[in-house]
Amino acid sequence: MDQDVVSDYGSDFTVEEEEILSDLLQQTPAWPITGVGLVLKDIEDNEGPRGARIPRTYDRRQYLPGSRRNPVQKQATHFAVEMAVDAFATANVESHESRIRRSRYERSVSIEVPTEIPPGPAPPEEPDLRSPLERFRSMPKKALSVSDLVSPSWCELQYWFILTKHGKKRRTPAMKQGTAVHKTLEDEVHRTVAVDIKTKEDAWGLRIWNVIQGLRSLRETGTTRELEVWAVLDGQVVNGVIDELSYICPDRELETTEFDALSGPRPVPADQKSITDFLSPNGSQTLNQANFGASASTAQNSAEKASRIYITDVKTRNSSSVPKGASFRPTLMQLMLYHRLLSAMATSKVDPSVLFSRYELKANEPFTDAFIAQISEMFFDATRDPIQTGHLDPSPSSTPEIEQDTLSLLLDHNSLTQLWDLMIRELQSTFPHQDKSIGNVLKAEYRNASNGRIMGSKTFLYDRGTLDTYMDEEMKWWRGERPAVGVCVEEA
């Protein structure tokens, strides 16, 4: 093969590029140029475009002395011709094959953009060792409610999760349906009027005023609904709202059973006369006196029984079944707690200063003029229907304040302390025998959540011992004296 014709490296110039180079060389002056010569820049000396520079890697091969020289494949054949005539000029000349190789190389180059290093796991939060009472029901948060005390009765772990996530039970669609049913029932007894509230004292004044109106409605019509009650249990302020109070006993047979159990065989007093004593000449007089005493006692019991007020709680359900067993326990405890709170108010055992202090209220601060003006526009307009209510003689419970003008009544009781005193007098009129005026027969009524239709009911007796045991154990969890307990296997 003729080495002058074929090169191992191949030609770096096309025919056109060789002609251009020849023309450039012919423009060089014939005389020698001192200090300036033709400089052939190496590829590494090329500055390239003014922009982002992409580092390149070249395949450089080293040869041992005496070894056969192998051809070296360079990544590009790119050089500059620098000449000095009157000015310095440069020219970049590149072969066709070099342009193709450079183009392929540039298309294959990828720029690696540094990615952000994801943050490491956050340090674990320190466990909150406070009790549920301290975390969720201490100032400035709201006080305990009856719902707080009975909701954990089925599963404390579930209620603990609700408190830690939301702080309270969130309203579900089913609960909203139930609220609509309760509102419909309440509208049957009360007329609701919107009141613009300016201060916390006005808001609490409205709550106490609604209790007063509810008690009056109970005495005049035999029924009231949505009556708010308060008490201090185990050193904690507890509030609740009773769905319904009525003079109608929900289960006469159950009440008779309770009365018989309480009035079972009694021991004979030491001073009680025998039958022979009544056969003496003065026996007839003694017998009459004994009969009179028994009649007086029976009359007193009959009066207490006739004026008893009974508690009913209305539950709404989407299913047609009535709960039983463990699922009924929250309702059982709820009604018994209502009984205890109402008894505390009927016996004037609720210290209002504890409530006002707990809610940070100014008990002796006068109500705003706007509040008094709005309330004075409301009036007591309940009617009594003995046939429907079954309450045939409400007249003893009437008070002079009913006939008094509402504006004058509020001006005479123009603070929380004074309005509370008025509520106590209303309670004394409504519960003349204090807690004995409250019936021990409790009723849970179940209604359809969609249409309010009654599906069934359950009645049971108030049991002080059962409630005491439950409250003692439940308050241990609220105070953090024991961990939350889940559902028993038998009840799951």
Which percentage of the chain shows pLDDT scores above 90?
43
Greatest alpha-carbon span in the chain:
176
416-430 helix and 200-221 helix, angle to the nearest 10 degrees: 20
Strands of 104-262 (E only): list them. Answer: 144-145, 223-233, 236-246
| Under 8 Å between Cβ of 241 and 226 | yes
Residue 327 has pLDDT above 80, yes or no: yes
**What is the 3-state composition of the chain as percent helix, strand, coil, each rounded to the nearest 5?**
45, 15, 45
pLDDT-wise least confident of 43-52, 97-106, 144-153, 303-312:
43-52
What is 87-127 written as a DSSP string? SEEEEEEE-HHHHHHHHHHHHH----PPPPPPPPPPPPPPP
pLDDT of the residue at 223? 95
CA–CA separation, 309 and 395 (whole Å)? 15
pLDDT for 379-433, tens place per residue?
544 333 443 444 444 444 444 444 458 889 999 999 999 999 999 999 999 999 9
**Given this model, what pLDDT does residue 466 score?**
96
Is the predicted pLDDT of residue 55 greater than 60, yes or no? Answer: no
User: Six-digit token pair at 297?
Assistant: 């006692």
pLDDT band at 113 (very low <50, low <70, confident <90, very high): low
Q: Which amino acid type is present at position 222?
A: G
CA distance 169 to 334: 16
Task: Indicate if the pLDDT at residue 185 is higher than 60.
Answer: yes
What is the three-class DSSP state of 290? helix
Q: Decide: helix, strand or coil at residue 105.
A: helix
Q: What is the pLDDT confidence band of residue 72, given thresholds at 50, 70 and 90?
A: very low
Q: Which two tokens stand for residue 441?
A: 């027969």
Identify the bridge partners of residue 460 per DSSP, sorted by sequence position. 442
Q: What is the DSSP letter of 121?
A: P
28-37, 47-56, 93-102, 227-236 — most confident range = 227-236
Q: What local confidence, expressed as pLDDT, does residue 21 receive?
A: 57
Q: What is the model's pLDDT at position 400?
A: 42
Q: For 364-470, where are the E strands, in sequence order? A: 441-448, 454-461
Task: Provide the pLDDT for residue 260.
Answer: 75
